[in-house]
Amino acid sequence: MVSDRGLEVLRAIVQDYVAMREPVGSKSIVERHAFGVSAATIRNDMALLEEEELIVAPHTSSGRVPTDKGYRVFVDRLQRMQPLTGAQRLAITRFLDESVDRDDVLARTARLLSSLTNQVALVQVPLRRPGVVRRVELVAVSETKVLAVLILDSGRVEQRVLDTGQHIDPEQATALGRAFTETVDGLAPNDALERLAGAAASAPKALHDATAAVAHALTEMLHGTGGDRIVMAGTANLVREERDFQGTVTPVLDAIEEQVTLLRLFDEMGSDGEVVTRIGRELAGPLGEASIVASTYSADGSDGHVGVLGPTRMDYAGNMAAVRAVARYLTRLLSED
């Protein structure tokens, strides 16, 4: 169990490490922070924090740095999100008010947020109103390949050619399309995704591979019925922080360039207007050494996400305040259009 003073020591370690990028020792904590206790007492607090896996020693005889778990405790319990200064708010207003159209607004928002935070800024194009699924059509185009067509009542049509992994004739493709239509007809995309998750398990054994392949493709297409593009700025900021990543930052750059991973992540974060963080291993995959701070904005009844991505060693309080302020102003600006 970490004491109140132990949590304050964690706060000091996070703040000092973020500011200086150097492991933090007990002596430096005593010198920089008014705890009113000895370095030996601080070392005991740090030992308890290490037992709780909130801090770790990156090298023998070094100071300590926060773990992903430590950053999470800091964000959830210790950080204080301060409002932006009047000058910062005025800069947001002036810069975004000069936009000439919606695309310019989103591009300017990304540049502005990157400038405010020194991170990679991400602005999702507002989510489309997806409607509900109306029909799935499958057309055999070769022995193992089919054209999958997903039709929504909003008029949107998604299509993809995929390899089913097994022989499938035209009649089987048509019948499988009808079966999928019966499964998802009339459902909103999120509900359709839940139905598709179990489609392969209930498929006839002879068409198991094809059913699984089509279900996977439809899932990918349904994920794309929301905002399918992200405007980015400040990628160079990530490159400048490369030493905060083990090895190389290239996998992170590849992931954000591809955008699919980010779009899925935004979808999982929801759209309740709160500022949300995902830290390190909470992201997994190529983004497992990064953190994301994001919120939502509205435009004509549709929602999009706005946020920043950077190393786990970031100014969470400042970034959260900037994301919140920009998201709120973006909502007001786009609501006036």
**pLDDT tens column, 141-172:** 999 999 999 888 866 778 889 999 899 999 99
Rounded distance, CA 224 to CA 52, Å? 40
Rounded distance, CA 229 to CA 263, Å? 8
- CATH number for 86-128+227-335: choose from 3.40.30.10, 3.90.1170.50, 3.30.450.40, 2.60.120.20: 3.30.450.40
Judged by DSSP in three states, 188 sits in coil
Q: What angle do CA 113, 116, 121 make, to 5 degrees?
A: 30
Contacts of 112 (CB under 8 A, 6+ apart): 91, 92, 95, 96, 121, 326
Structure tokens at 53: 């896996």
In tens, the pLDDT along 258-298 reads: 888 888 888 888 767 789 999 999 997 889 999 999 999 98
CA-CA-CA-CA torsion sign (147, 148, 153, 157): negative
Give the mean pLDDT of 83-111: 87
Give the mean pLDDT of 183-189: 86
pLDDT at 300: 67
Nearest CA among 20, 235, 228, 18 for reference residue 114:
235
In tens, the pLDDT along 197-236 reads: 777 677 777 888 888 899 888 888 776 555 568 999 999 9
Say which amino acid occupies 332: R
Which helix (H) or strand (E) segment holds residue 265: the answer is helix 260-269
Per the rule left: phi > 0, alpha: psi between -120 and 50, beta: everything else, 234 is left
Contacts of 181 (CB under 8 A, 6+ apart): 135, 136, 137
Rounded distance, CA 335 to CA 53, Å? 45
Mean pLDDT of the chain: 88
Buried b (16+ CB within 10 A) or exposed e, 154-163: eebebeeebe
pLDDT at 53: 96
Judged by DSSP in three states, 133 sits in strand
Residue 126 per-residue DSSP state: P
Contacts of 293 (CB under 8 A, 6+ apart): 275, 276, 277, 307, 308, 314, 316, 319, 320, 323
Nearest CA among 202, 228, 232 for reference residue 215:
202
As assigned by CATH, the class of the 133-223 domain is alpha beta
pLDDT at 46: 96
Say which amino acid occupies 278: R
pLDDT over 80 at 255, yes or no? yes
pLDDT at 228: 65
* 4-78 CATH: 1.10.10.10
Cβ neighbours of 76 (radius 10 Å): 9
Domain ranges of the chain: 4-78, 86-128+227-335, 133-223
pLDDT at 223: 67
- β partners of residue 304: 297
Nearest CA among 116, 228, 129, 209 for reference residue 163:
209
Q: Are 138 and 180 in contact (CB under 8 A)?
A: yes
Percent of the chain having pLDDT more than 70?
94
How far is residue 193 from each of residues 31, 151, 184, 327, measured CA to CA in Å? 55, 14, 9, 28
Structure tokens at 240: 């400048």
Rounded distance, CA 277 to CA 310, Å? 11
Can you state the percent helix, strand and coil of the chain, rounding each to 5?
50, 20, 30
